[in-house]
Amino acid sequence: MERTVIYCSRSLWSRWPGLARHWHRRYPRLFDADDLRLTESQPKNHFKEWLAAIHVFRRDGAYSLIEKYNVKRAHPRKRPIFERLVSARQRSVLDAICSHVQPPDLFVFRPGSTVFWFAEVKGEGEPTSDKQIASHRLIERRLGVPVELIEVRLGRRPLPNRRVKLAAGRLQGRIAVVRQHSSLEGLINGAPGRAGRRSLSAIR
Query: Across residues 173-199, what is the average pLDDT?
Result: 40
Share of the chain above pLDDT 90, in %: 67
| Helix count and strand count (H, E) for the chain | 7, 8
Task: Identify the pLDDT of residue 186.
Answer: 52
Alpha helices for 42-129 (secondary structure H): 47-60, 78-85, 88-97
Q: Is the pLDDT of residue 56 over 70?
A: yes
**Structural domain span for residue 112:** 3-183
Structure confidence by residue, pLDDT tens digits, 165-184? 444 444 444 323 333 444 45
Task: Identify the pLDDT of residue 183.
Answer: 46
The answer to whether residue 203 sits within a structural domain is no
pLDDT band at 72 (very low <50, low <70, confident <90, very high): confident
Nearest alpha-carbon partner for 70 in 12, 133, 5, 135: 135
Q: Is the pLDDT of residue 59 over 90?
A: yes
The answer to whether residue 25 sits within a structural domain is yes
Task: Identify the pLDDT of residue 168.
Answer: 42
Structure confidence by residue, pLDDT tens digits, 97-124? 999 999 999 999 999 999 999 999 999 9
The answer to whether residue 193 sits within a structural domain is no
The answer to whether residue 155 sits within a structural domain is yes
Work out how many domains the chain is built from and give that number.
1
Alpha helices for the chain (secondary structure H): 10-14, 18-26, 33-41, 47-60, 78-85, 88-97, 130-143
| Contact present, 28 and 36 (Cβ < 8 Å) | no
The answer to whether residue 194 sits within a structural domain is no
The answer to whether residue 46 sits within a structural domain is yes
The answer to whether residue 175 sits within a structural domain is yes
The answer to whether residue 150 sits within a structural domain is yes
Nearest alpha-carbon partner for 38 in 79, 67, 8: 67
Q: Is the pLDDT of residue 201 over 50?
A: no
What's the CA gap between 170 and 176, in Å, rounded?
7
Average pLDDT, the chain: 82
Query: Across residues 88-102, what is the average pLDDT?
Result: 95
pTM of this prediction exceeds 0.85: no
Task: Identify the pLDDT of residue 57.
Answer: 98
